[in-house]
Every structure is written in C-alpha cells, then in structure tokens.
C-alpha cells in the first residue's frame, strides 16, 4: 500500500502525533510518494486536515465502541478516526470502500487481532451510528467536543469574548483555509503578477483585507508556479500582511525586525522601504535565518535585507550601531489564531504556555525598546487571540516604560477602523483569515 492515499494519510497523521507540523509533514509525505492522479493527493490532504480538525469529535463518536482505548496502539486509533471521519464528513466515498481499505491497512500494518478489532468497531459503528452531542450538558465541554478544541482554549475564549463570539470563532476555524498571496509591487506591476497567475491556471481576486493581497484558487501547486519562482508573490495570510501595513513605513527608512523567520513580514517591510532603505533581520537559529535569506533572494530583495543569527532578548544598541525609527517584534506566541491553518495547535498547547510566552515576549520587547529612536515606532504583533499574550503583555510593558504610548493601528484598507481600541484584533471569523493582534507603541520621550 506504498502509494495508497489512506495509508499515506495515516503515515502523516502518525508523524504529526510525534510533533511534526501538519503543513510541513503533509508536503513531505506527499512528495515522498508517487500518486497516480491529483485526486489521491487531494484525498490525503482532506483526510489529514479533516482528522486533525475533528479529532475530539471523532474520539467522542468512537468512545462507546472502544472499551479500553488507552491499550489500543496510537496508529490504530488514527486509522479508526480516519474511517469515522470519512463516514461522517465525506459524502462521495461509499462506505464499502472505506471499510475495505481500512481493514486492508489494518491487516497489512498490524496483526490479525488488530484486523478483527478494526472490523468489529467499524461494523458496530455502521449499525448503531454515533452518540448525540446533546448528552454533554456543560457548555464548555460540549463546545470543546463539538468543534474539537481543547477545553482550556474554549474556557479562555468564553471568558474573554462571551458565548456568541466564541461559537462564531469555533465554527469558523473548521472551514477550509483560503490561499492568499502577497504581491511584490516593488519589483513587478500588479497587472503582470495577476496575468502570470492566470496564465498558470489560477483564479485571482483582490483581497478585501490587505492592500497587496490576492486570494487565489484553482491551478496546481502555487509554490512551483511561474509567479512564485520569479519572486512576484509570496504565500502569506491576509491578516499577517496587516502587520507591515501598520508600521507606517516610508521609502529609505532603516528597520529592525527582531523575530524575522520565515521572512514574510521581513520581505514586505523591504518592499515598503525600497532599494534606498534597509531591513536588519534577526532570528535565533541559523536554519530560520536561512529561510529569511532564501525568501529575500527569491523575491529579489536580498540587497535590502541584512540577516543575523541573534537572540532577540539580548540585543543592544552597540550590536547594530545605533537606533531605529521602526522596530517590529513579531513575537513567539501560542499560535491560537492559527487553529484553522494549523489544527494540531488545538491539542499541543497548554494554558501554562501562554504565561511562559508572555515572559519571553516582555523580554524581547524590553530589549527592543532600547533601540527605538525618539519618536520612533515599536510594533508588536502575534498570531494568537488570547489576552494573556496580547493586551496583558502590552499593559505590562507600558507599566514599565512610561516613555512609550499606544498609538492607534491603521491599515491601508481601514480594517475595523471604527473600533474603540487603539490596538487591533483580527479574529478568525472576521474575514475567514488567521487570528492576529497588532499594537503600535510610540516612543514619546
């Protein structure tokens, strides 16, 4: 079953359970196998993301049919999850095909006892169906199982945003992700970029969120398209594009990006400051800095971007020969805003992570603050939607830095401009994009 779509999807799910990132593991797994057609590749993607997005729901459905799940091998649990996902969410696949292939995988990968277990569970499920979510009386517990998000995240959202907004966000994150790209308008014309994408079979429409963004559909592998190879575009979520927009950059300016990998925001900053400006891009690991270099070179911006391997908590003015008018701290965070695009985050993070991350975020902000020129702007961003790492981090920073003040975040398309807050929250249900937080801190004295 070397190139069987279901067997390959199972392989990827098992690796993700061991700590691999879903997007990287899926790309690697698909590249390592030779499929007969695109339908098999699409099925692998559907099964991997589908199981990850609905794992807690699938486990709830399986619960009555597994007497001792803790004694069942993890790969068998994933095989059963994958089968139930197909029964419940994929209408076009006949049940006999799901059953036959699942049993065949169990037989080839395991022993006869595993085959009998899998056959028995699936036959019973076919006869009896799944238990109703209505038996879960507690609201946080029910939302956790219904939308497959760990209970601590649900409780945090309910506490911060209320039931209606929490339900809206949870419904949103189980919808398919859009494919967004940012245009390199420093080096190419808008019409030429759109034409190159359309020539490769993609359908293109302008983003309603980000000024340089496009929403792309159809076509084949965007990362091997002519537009991508030539550096006309980079793949980036619409919300992420708003960070550099918020920095109020001008041509010729010198900017410091202290947590720059993989380079999406770095290259966008480079486009804004142009060939007469510069971006000093830092990250803590050589491999991550290499990603920034590669992206800058592909987009023909490498002469603007100067990369360094550096710990952002330890930066000093003497290291970089002066201060900067603009500094970006795109801080390490829990990534709770990425639950649609990286569903494994739902299960891998704990509430304690948000507290420890806040400490790291403040260390980076404190170090960066010393390098901000008078009247300069320090922009803070995360891809989470929890207050601990966002508003509370900024509140603590301002308590210790009376020389900084919050300034209202504005974007080119005036996103959520009628809000009362000075900082900007983008939630996953606002525009069906990633969740993001952006705060602008002006050094006033």
Split the chain (445 residues) into runs of 10 and give each run's mean pLDDT.
86 92 88 82 93 97 92 96 96 91 94 94 95 96 98 98 98 94 98 97 97 94 93 98 98 96 97 97 96 97 96 85 90 97 94 96 96 95 98 98 97 97 98 98 93
Structural domain boundaries of the chain?
Answer: 5-131, 135-173, 238-443
- Determine the longest span between alpha carbons in the chain, in angstroms: 74
Known binding-site residues for S-adenosyl-L-methionine equal 259-265, 283, 311, 330
**Could you give the residue numbers annotated as active site?**
383
The pLDDT value recorded for residue 319 is 77
The pLDDT value recorded for residue 39 is 86
Is 318 in contact with 371 (CB distance < 8 Å)? no
The pLDDT value recorded for residue 37 is 80
**Neighbouring residues of 119: CB distance < 8 A, sequence distance ≥ 6:** 103, 106
The CATH architecture of the domain made up of 238-443 is 3-Layer(aba) Sandwich (3.40)
* Rounded-to-integer distance, Cα 380 and Cα 362, Å: 10
Is 238 in contact with 209 (CB distance < 8 Å)? yes
The pLDDT value recorded for residue 35 is 78
The pLDDT value recorded for residue 320 is 75
- Phi and psi at 333, nearest 5°, equal -150, 180
Is 71 exposed, middle or buried, given 0-12, 13-18 or 19+ CB atoms closer than 10 A? exposed
CA distances 55 to 149, 175, 219, 378, Å, are 9, 15, 30, 39
Known binding-site residues equal 259-265, 283, 311, 330
Q: Which CATH superfamily is domain 5-131 in?
A: NusB-like (1.10.940.10)
**Pair of tokens at residue 259:** 């947590």
284: Cα separation from own chain's centroid: 20
- First-to-last alpha carbon distance for the chain, in angstroms, is 67
């Amino acid at each position: 079953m070397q190139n069987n779509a279901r067997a390959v999807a199972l392989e990827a799910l098992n690796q993700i359970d061991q700590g691999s990132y879903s997007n990287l593991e899926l790309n690697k797994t698909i590249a390592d196998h030779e499929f007969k057609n695109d339908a098999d590749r699409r099925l692998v993607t559907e099964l991997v993301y589908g199981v990850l997005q609905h794992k807690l729901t699938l486990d709830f459905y399986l619960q009555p049919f597994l007497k001792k799940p803790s004694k069942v091998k993890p790969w068998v649990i994933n095989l059963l999850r994958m089968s139930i996902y197909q029964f419940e969410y994929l209408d076009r696949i006949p049940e006999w095909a799901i059953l036959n292939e699942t049993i065949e995988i169990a037989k080839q990968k395991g022993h006869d006892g595993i085959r009998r277990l899998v056959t028995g569970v699936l036959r019973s499920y076919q006869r009896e169906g799944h238990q109703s979510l209505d038996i879960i009386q507690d609201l946080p517990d029910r939302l956790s199982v219904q939308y497959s998000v760990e209970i601590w995240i649900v409780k945090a959202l309910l506490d911060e945003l209320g039931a209606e907004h929490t339900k809206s966000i949870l419904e949103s994150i189980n919808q398919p992700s859009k494919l967004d790209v940012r245009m390199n308008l420093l080096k190419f014309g808008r019409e030429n970029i759109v034409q190159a994408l359309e020539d490769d079979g993609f359908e293109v429409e302008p983003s309603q969120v980000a000024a340089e963004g496009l929403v792309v559909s159809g076509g084949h592998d965007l990362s091997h398209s002519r537009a991508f190879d030539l550096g006309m575009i980079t793949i980036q979520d619409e919300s992420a594009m708003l960070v550099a927009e918020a920095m109020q950059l001008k041509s010729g300016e010198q900017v410091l990006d202290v947590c720059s990998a993989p380079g999406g925001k770095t290259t966008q900053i480079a486009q804004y400051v142009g060939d007469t400006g510069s971006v000093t891009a830092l990250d803590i690991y050589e491999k991550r800095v290499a990603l920034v270099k590669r992206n800058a070179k592909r987009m023909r911006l490498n002469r603007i971007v100067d990369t360094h391997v550096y710990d952002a908590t330890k930066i000093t003015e003497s290291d970089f020969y002066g201060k900067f008018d603009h500094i970006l701290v795109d801080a390490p965070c829990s990534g709770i805003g990425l639950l649609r695009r990286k569903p494994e985050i739902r299960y891998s993070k704990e509430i304690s992570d948000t507290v420890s991350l806040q400490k790291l975020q403040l260390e980076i902000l404190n170090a960066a603050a010393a390098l901000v020129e008078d009247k300069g702007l320090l922009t803070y961003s995360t891809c989470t939607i929890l207050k601990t790492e966002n508003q509370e981090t900024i509140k603590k920073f301002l308590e210790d830095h009376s020389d900084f003040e919050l300034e209202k975040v504005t974007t080119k398309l005036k996103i959520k401009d009628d809000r009362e807050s000075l900082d900007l929250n983008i939630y996953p249900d606002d525009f069906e994009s990633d969740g993001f937080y952006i705060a602008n801190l002006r050094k006033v004295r």
